[in-house]
């Protein structure tokens, strides 16, 4: 197989010219192929890869410009040269325009000059071939990148859809559990919504991250879920509760946390629910945990829960005025409630003049 980077085709209808040219290139190290006209020239190009074609212009079958125009069409990567005894301006223009020639050389020629020109043509051929090779590699790499990008986009989209599906399932599950809590006592729902709103306002004031805000909001909606495990008669009773009754009611955080902890995504919610009746001074339940050992979300819920419990009408007592509520919460600052969070709640509700307008008028027995 010929090496196109080193193969030179000479086309001329005069054998003497071909011989003289062959001699001129003898020491250049090229594989020199000669053809006595266009037809033979085409055959040579069909038989082997050729880098540079030097052609006479005035030939009997077709002119050099016509020949090189066809060569350009069929072998566009070749570098084409006209060697002509007639340098009419029209033929030069035609050669450049239609045959895309690199050089227009004239007869008689100077051997050194022609050798130099042909060397330049092989350099041009190598540069062109190299740039074509790089362009082909780039095209392949671009295709690879494009298909990788498509696969990546599909994966991202699939993962986004799955994430959205999970979020929908979590929301549906929260709603289902909230309905269960509501079924245990219809008073819970309105109260839970308001506790959630107030707890979220406190969480925003504390600049808590979105994940923590979600945990607090979800725990607010489900904090009394464990009431489904408490005797309904006991929950609705207005009589003075015995210690045994109180003990049963005080089981609701643990029952609710037990149910929620079965769902991995709700682990933080379960923990927050479990401790929502702890007191800052350790006198709460179920564990008597104190201070900052109580989850932050639970300390926030304890305040929001107590605020709305006092701001609501109850079957056994009316709601309390705003000032009284703030005083009652302030009295428990550092005792039942986290002192810093008590201040946060005070600032969040400071513009509320009529809490009853913002809370549900009913409340459950289980408020702590
Ligand atoms: Fe509770």
Residue 181 · residue 196 · CB < 8 Å? no
Within 10 Å of residue 366's Cβ, how many Cβ atoms? 23
Task: Identify the pLDDT of residue 35.
Answer: 97
Q: How confident is the model at residue 243 (pLDDT cuts 50, 70, 90)?
A: confident
Tokens 């007639």 belong to which residue?
Answer: 86
Average pLDDT over residues 102-128: 92
Torsion angle of the four alpha carbons 17, 18, 20, 21, in this order, in degrees rounded to the nearest 10: 110
Contact 32, 10 (CB under 8 A): yes
Instruction: Give the model confidence (pLDDT) of 3-24 as tens digits.
Output: 889 999 999 999 999 999 999 9
pLDDT at 97 over 70: yes
275 CA to middle of ligand 1, Å? 9
Ligand 1 centroid–CA 184 distance in Å is 13
Burial letters for 25-59: b for 16+ Cβ neighbours within 10 Å, e otherwise?
beeeebebbbbbbbebbbebbeeeebbbbbbbbeb
Structure tokens at 58: 């005035």
- The full set of domains in the chain, from first to last, is 4-134 (3.40.50.2300), 185-358 (1.10.3210.10)
- What mean pLDDT do residues 231-236 have? 73
Calpha distance 127→73 (Å, rounded) = 20
**What's the pLDDT at 352?**
54
CA of 113 to the centre of ligand 1 (A): 102
Q: How far is the CA of 274 from the centre of ligand 1 (A)?
A: 9
CA of 348 to the centre of ligand 1 (A): 22
**According to DSSP H, which parts of 64-110 are helical?**
64-74, 89-99
Q: 324: CA distance to ligand 1 center in Å?
A: 22
What was the pLDDT predicted at 354?
A: 47
CA of 226 to the centre of ligand 1 (A): 8
Predicted local confidence at residue 110, as pLDDT: 94
Residue with structure tokens 């902890």? 261
Cα–Cα distance for residue pair 275/15, rounded to 1 Å: 107
Coil, helix or strand at residue 36:
coil
Q: Tokens standing for 302?
A: 């304890």
pLDDT digits (tens, 9 = 90+) for 281-326: 999 999 999 999 999 999 999 999 999 999 987 777 788 998 999 9
Helix H or strand E encompassing 17: helix 15-24
Residues written for the chain: 368
CA of 211 to the centre of ligand 1 (A): 22
pLDDT at 137 over 50: yes
Distance 368 CA to ligand 1 centre (A): 6
Burial letters 297-311, b for 16+ CB under 10 A, else e: bbbbbbbbbbbbbbb
* Reported pTM: 0.61
Contact, 35 vs 41, CB < 8 A? yes
User: What's the confidence (pLDDT) of residue 1?
Assistant: 67
Contact 303, 293 (CB under 8 A): no
State residue 2's pLDDT score: 78
Instruction: Check whether 361 has a pLDDT greater than 70.
Output: no
């Amino acid at each position: 197989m010929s090496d196109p980077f080193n193969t030179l085709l000479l086309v001329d209808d005069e054998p003497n010219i071909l011989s003289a040219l062959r001699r001129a290139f003898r020491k250049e190290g090229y594989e020199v192929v000669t053809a006595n006209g266009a037809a033979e020239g085409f055959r040579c190009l069909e038989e082997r890869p050729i880098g540079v074609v030097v052609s006479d212009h005035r030939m009997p079958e077709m002119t050099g410009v016509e020949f090189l125009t066809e060569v350009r069409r069929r072998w566009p990567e070749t570098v084409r040269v006209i060697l002509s005894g007639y340098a009419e301006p029209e033929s030069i223009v035609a050669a450049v325009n239609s045959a895309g020639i690199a050089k227009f050389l004239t007869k008689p020629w100077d051997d050194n000059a022609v050798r130099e020109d042909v060397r330049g043509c092989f350099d041009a051929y190598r540069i062109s071939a190299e740039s074509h090779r790089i362009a082909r590699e780039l095209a392949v790499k671009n295709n690879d990148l494009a298909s990788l990008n498509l696969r990546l986009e599909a994966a991202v989209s699939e993962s986004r859809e799955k994430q959205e599906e999970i979020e929908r399932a979590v929301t549906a599950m929260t709603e289902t559990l909230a309905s269960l809590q509501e079924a245990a006592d219809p008073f819970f729902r309105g109260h839970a919504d308001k506790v959630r709103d107030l707890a979220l306002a406190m969480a925003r004031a504390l600049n808590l991250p979105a994940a923590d805000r979600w945990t607090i909001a979800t725990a607010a909606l489900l904090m009394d879920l464990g009431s489904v495990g408490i005797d309904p008669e006991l929950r609705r009773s207005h009589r003075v509760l015995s210690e045994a009754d109180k003990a049963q009611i005080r089981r609701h955080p643990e029952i609710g946390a037990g149910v929620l902890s079965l769902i991995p995504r709700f682990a933080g919610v379960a923990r927050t629910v479990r401790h929502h009746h702890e007191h800052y001074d350790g006198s709460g339940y179920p564990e008597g945990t104190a201070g900052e050992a109580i989850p932050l979300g639970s300390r926030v819920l304890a305040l929001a829960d107590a605020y709305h419990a006092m701001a609501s009408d109850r079957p056994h007592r009316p709601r309390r005025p705003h000032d009284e509520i703030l005083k009652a919460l302030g009295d428990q600052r550092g005792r039942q409630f986290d002192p810093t969070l008590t201040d946060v709640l005070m600032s969040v509700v400071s513009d509320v003049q009529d809490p009853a307008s913002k809370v549900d008028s009913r409340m459950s027995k289980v408020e702590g």
